[in-house]
Amino acid sequence: MRTEMMAFLHIPSSSSLILTSRTSSRPVLPSLPNRVTSHLSSPTSALPKLTTSGSWVTKVQSKSSHFLLSGALSLGLFLGGIGLAEAKVGVNKPELLPKEFNTVIDVAGFLSDGQEKRLATEIASLEQDTGYKLRVLAQNYPDTPGLAIKDYWQVDDRTIVFVADPTFGNVLNFNVGATVDLDIPRSFWSRLAGKYGNIFYWKEKGEDASIEAAVMAISSCLREPVGPSNCSEVK
């Protein structure tokens, strides 16, 4: 599984969404307000995620801080991005969002109630300790809230949108905000997708195991002091 096949989406601080694609092996996620990588709305023909081949691209702004989302077609398209391969119409289904705010949304049924609570607790602790905002969406395209997630989570430069969707092969897709992009090496997201998101891993362990392992690895990475060697290992 190639680690370079990832698609990232940029979330601008304003209302516009910027998405870029490097070399991904699947589709991309929806775009949020600042900078992100995505996999939420419309799929392309044969795309992977942060490991995605058909990653969509909307304008690229800023430096080379725009990422490609591994298998992130949904996020990008859902945010209005354009697929590199054959982008379909983006999805926007606010009715799939929970009425009360939640940092973990599972519309695919991959997680148990206990797992959702554990992840939400870890995410709350991470945000309190570091200021980074991690948001998790488990979906199975085309069953996704799509663009509606953007306003619901109020994504900004310190937000990471993690979309778990096995539709395009690699289950791990990420949208990374501009500030996160500056603090975390881009290679981390590719290595994370390669380790816990590849089809062999989630087929054997389950999508829930991939999601939980990825969240804990992200939490561990974001808690490390920023420096030349931070997040050098996917734990």
- Residue 77 covered by a domain: yes
> Taking a C-beta distance cutoff of 8 angstroms, is the pair 175, 75 a contact?
yes
Q: Which domain holds residue 177?
A: 7-222
Number of separate domains in the chain? 1
pLDDT at position 134 over 80: yes
Q: pLDDT per residue over 162-197, tens digit each?
A: 999 999 889 999 999 999 999 999 999 999 999 999
- Residue 153 covered by a domain: yes
pLDDT at position 15 over 50: no
More confident residue, 47 or 152: 152
Task: Work out the pLDDT band at 228, boundaries 50, 70, 90.
Answer: confident
pLDDT at position 132 over 80: yes
pLDDT at position 2 over 60: no
- Residue 195 covered by a domain: yes
Looking at residue 90, what is its pLDDT?
72
pLDDT at position 218 over 50: yes
Looking at residue 89, what is its pLDDT?
56
Gap between the Cα atoms of 4 and 181, Å rounded: 16
> Taking a C-beta distance cutoff of 8 angstroms, is the pair 53, 88 a contact?
no
- Residue 227 covered by a domain: no
Strand, helix or coil at 212?
A: helix
- Residue 80 covered by a domain: yes
What integer is the mean pLDDT of 37-50? 40
Give the rounded percent of residues in the chain with a pLDDT score beyond 70: 62
CATH number for the domain spanning 73: value is 3.10.310.50
